[in-house]
Amino acid sequence: MRWNMRMKAAEAGIWKSTELRRRLADAGLEISAGKMSGLWAGTPTTIRLDDLDVICSVLGCTPSDLLLCEPEVVAARKPKKPTAAARSQARAQPIPGRRRTKPPA
C-alpha cells in the first residue's frame, strides 16, 4: 500500500504540513510534529482508525483515496517456487542431529 495523503491535501488546497496539522487540531485531532512529518512524507508507521476518520473529514476524501493498493509490490514479495533440481539437491543433504531413534538420556 502507498500513502497518498500529500496529494489529497494538495487537492484540498493545503500545501504545507503545518497547515494540515492546524486544520486537524481544529477538527479535534492533535498530532505531534514527528507523527505529522511521517504522515506528510508518506511513511506513517501507524494510524488509528479514529484519526483516519478525522483526516478524511478534513481533506474531504475517503480512506480508499488515501491508501493506494500496489499489487505489483505484493507480487514481487511472493517467494519463488524452487525448481525440481533445487528440491532434489535439498533432499540429498543430511540434516544434522536427526538420526536419533531415542531421545538422549
Q: What is the pLDDT along the chain (105 residues), one digit of tens a residue?
A: 788 899 999 999 999 999 999 999 999 999 999 999 999 998 888 899 999 999 999 999 999 999 888 888 778 888 877 776 666 666 656 666 666 667 776
Give the total number of structural domains in the chain: 1
Instruction: Give the Cα separation of 3 and 21 in Å (integer).
Output: 17
β-sheet bridge partners, residue 2: 68
Q: Is 26 inside a domain boundary?
A: yes
Task: Write down the pLDDT at residue 85.
Answer: 66
Task: Write down the pLDDT at residue 46.
Answer: 87
Task: Write down the pLDDT at residue 94.
Answer: 61
Q: Is 37 inside a domain boundary?
A: yes
Q: Is 96 inside a domain boundary?
A: no
The three-state secondary structure class of 75 is: helix
Q: Is 63 inside a domain boundary?
A: yes
Half-sphere exposure of 74 (CA within 13 A, CB side): 6
Could you tell me the CATH number of the domain that includes residue 15? 1.10.260
Asked if 8 and 65 touch (Cβ cutoff 8 Å), the reply is yes
Count of CB atoms within 10 A of residue 8's CB? 20
Q: Is 50 inside a domain boundary?
A: yes
Task: Write down the pLDDT at residue 78.
Answer: 80
Range of the domain at 37: 2-68
Residue 6's alpha-carbon distances to 15, 17, 45, 80, in angstroms, are 8, 9, 16, 35
pTM above 0.75, yes or no: no
